[in-house]
Amino acid sequence: LRVNSIASYSDCIKLLINFACTRLAVQPEDLSVDQFTRELVIDFLDDLESNRQNGAATRNQRLAAIKTFFHFLAYNVPELMHLNETIQAIRQKKTDYTPPPSMTIEEVDAIAAVPDPTRLIGARDKALVKLLYNSGGRAQEVADLRICDIRFDTPATVTLTGKGGKTRVIPLWED
């Protein structure tokens, strides 16, 4: 897991523990794993939406963190398998996903025309804009590129490493 994912999961578990302590009127050190029932987790998720004003996507992300945590517990403490199964059975909420609008070729060309390609930094910036558009890569994926990730032979390609360490090879346009 990446640093941000770990921080997010940690934050979720802290919120869950605080919720459980408040709901059950106990201190964190007095909590036991068997008090984390399916109903308590569902109530926590509902509380995220109603009191913390979290959207369905955030609720789903928190649920994923909780499922990961309980999977870890069951793996290390087999007696908790049944509890893990009840947590894994909690369904995510449906979310409306609208992909971000894409730029037109003219808009990309206008942005790529701004850097001065006769200067080294301008040539770099123009190449970065074209690479981002051509590959569909995330800014972080392009920022993490190494020289060995780019192949200039025909057909030219770039190997991008994305979230979760997944790699993909993208053919590059001639320009």
pLDDT in tens, 118-155: 999 999 999 899 899 889 899 999 999 999 999 999 89
**Tokens 């609720």 -> residue:** 59
How many angstroms separate the CA atoms of 45 and 16, rounded?
A: 9
Q: Is the pLDDT of residue 161 over 80?
A: yes
pTM of the predicted structure, to 2 decimals: 0.62
Q: What is the mean pLDDT of the chain?
A: 92
Model confidence pLDDT, tens digit, residues 96-116 = 888 888 888 899 889 989 999
The CA-to-CA distance between both ends of the chain, in Å, stands at: 36
Side by side, the strands of the sheet bearing 157-161 are 150-151, 157-161, 167-171
In this prediction, residue 1 carries a pLDDT of 57
Percent of the chain with pLDDT over 70: 99
Structure tokens at 151: 């192949």
